[in-house]
Structure 1
Amino acid sequence: MSIEDGGTSHQQGAVPASVRAQLLATEHWGLLASRSTAQSEVLTRISMFLTFTSASLVSVALVGQATGFSDAFVLLAVAVLFIDAAIGLLTQLRVMNVAYEDLMYVTAMNRLRAAYVDLDPGVAPYLMAAHHDDQAGSRQTYYFFGNESNFGHVAGSSMIFMTTANAALIAILTGLLVTLAGAGTAGGTAAGAVCGAGFLALSVARGGWRYHDLWRRYTPLSPTPPPDGD
């Protein structure tokens, strides 16, 4: 599909191809810079979360030794775990948002490549990244050689990393609260395992629903053509 479709050809026809290429390249570099900044920020946020969690747990251990693991220590441990879990959830929310921002940047740059190909169809064979701004095009850009599964990509993502870390914190906090309520160690362990696994499954399901809903509502400008024979 030509980028001149949609009623704008009368405006673009008066603009030299070289000027259009410069404008597209400027937008492309802007997207690359924004994508890099977002990735850098989310990695910093994850590092801050891990540092804070590690330091707080070490502090709780030192207080426990100093107080002989008294009731005051238990209260402190619960409060610290609540804070860690809250910070972890906020960090996870930002990581998920950046994951979708990254998908947005990839899709936007695919659309720009479609404009490059529209200017010069001869460059298409030399583009390893896709020049189609749909779901299939985004997968091609993420997997140049097309030999990586979606499961491997998702399982190794920062989003799943943060979700797993938060699931562990929630499991520990739940187990501690249930144990303090009188259910015993076995009951606390079971409750913690169920809550942690439930949170992990719910987060993954929500992320998958959000991903599919995004593509369901999105209309590509340059969709991937169907395979020959379809």
Structure 2
Amino acid sequence: MTSDAAGDEDEEAAERLTDAQRALRAQLLATEHWSLLASRSTTQGEVLTRIAIYLTLVSAGLVLLGILSQATGFSGWFGAAAVGILLVLVLLGFITLVRVYNTATEDLAYVLAMNRLRAAYLDLDPGIGRYLLMGTTEDQAGIDRTYHPFFPRPVSQVLGSSMMIITVVTAVVTGLFTGGLCAWLGLPVAAAVAAGIVAASVVIGLALRNGYVRYRRSLAALERLRND
């Protein structure tokens, strides 16, 4: 059954509801809406805490490297210690990065679910449509309207996101690790710096590509669910 046919059947069923059934349905929809809001808030709070923990660890790691550099004069076992500390930070960064991008997909699911509930509100009372600022459809237009109701898909929304912060920090730490490893292995400073820049650029490129691919796959999965 197509989504259009299913939608027509739902509208016909809504028209046959009694006032008591409409009130009960509105109550159930509102309960589900609050449940989604609570779940979304919990998920966002959890991932922001993870980001804060990682940034704290990065700061502590850099301070520790500064102390070690003063104690060793950048000689002896400082290189091995620096590479080890940066390696740990890189691993923690990628773990945090995976969780942040997973959260972005979950947040998209919450947005689509709440758009669907608003559409159900409209089925119960079409007159409330002018009071709804956020999206009411499960498509790109509905997603854009919910995330930013005033103009669609602003670049600033992506650049200013928590996802971009953790991507840049992880890329910088990866670049420091790569450059430090190259210098520790005896490569010239210029080559170590170039390797670090390349590594950071690769991380940013792959992370952004992964985010875009996940987003498109989520929309494709949504389209398949609608057509089932």
Deviations along 1:110-163, one digit per CA (max 9) or x if unpaired, are: 0000000000000011111111122210111111112x5442221111111111
Higher mean Cα deviation, 67-76 or 118-127? Answer: 67-76
Which residue of structure 1 lines up, in the alignment, with residue 116 of structure 2?
111
* Alpha-carbon offset, residue 180 of structure 1: 2.1
The counterpart of 1:93, out of the listed 94, 98, 122, is 98
Which residue of structure 2 lines up, in the alignment, with residue 226 of structure 1?
none
**For the Cα contact (< 8 Å) 1:95–1:159, is it kept in 2?**
yes
Which residue of structure 2 lines up, in the alignment, with residue 219 of structure 1?
223
TM-score normalised over the length of structure 1: 0.88
- The structure richer in helix per residue is 2
The counterpart of 1:155, out of the listed 148, 159, 163, is 159
| Pairwise CA RMSD | 2.4
The counterpart of 1:124, out of the listed 129, 139, 146, is 129
* Alpha-carbon offset, residue 220 of structure 1: 8.3
SS of the residue 2:64 aligns to: helix
**For the Cα contact (< 8 Å) 2:82–2:180, is it kept in 1?**
no
What pairs up with 1:70-81 in 2 under 5 angstroms?
70-81=75-86
How far apart, in 2, do the equivalents of 1:120 and 1:139 lie? 24
**For the Cα contact (< 8 Å) 1:46–1:91, is it kept in 2?**
yes
SS of the residue 1:171 aligns to: helix
**For the Cα contact (< 8 Å) 1:129–1:144, is it kept in 2?**
yes
Structure 2: runs of 5+ lacking an equivalent = none
Which residue of structure 1 lines up, in the alignment, with residue 180 of structure 2?
176
How far apart, in 1, do the equivalents of 2:8 and 2:27 lie? 17
Q: How many residues align?
A: 220
The counterpart of 1:31, out of the listed 36, 39, 47, is 36
- Cα pair distance change 1:133/1:68, threshold 3 Å: same
Identity %: 43
Which residue of structure 2 lines up, in the alignment, with residue 228 of structure 1?
none
How far apart, in 1, do the equivalents of 2:172 and 2:38 lie? 34
* Alpha-carbon offset, residue 201 of structure 1: 0.8
How far apart, in 2, do the equivalents of 1:181 and 1:157 lie? 36
The counterpart of 1:205, out of the listed 177, 198, 209, is 209
* Alpha-carbon offset, residue 195 of structure 1: 1.2
TM-score normalised over the length of structure 2: 0.89
**For the Cα contact (< 8 Å) 1:111–1:133, is it kept in 2?**
yes
**For the Cα contact (< 8 Å) 1:3–1:115, is it kept in 2?**
no
Q: Return the letter of the residue paired with 2:156.
A: G
Structure 1: runs of 5+ lacking an equivalent = 223-230
Within the alignment, does 1:52 sit opposite 2:57 as a pair?
A: yes
Q: Return the letter of the residue paired with 1:42.
A: V
**For the Cα contact (< 8 Å) 2:111–2:143, is it kept in 1?**
yes
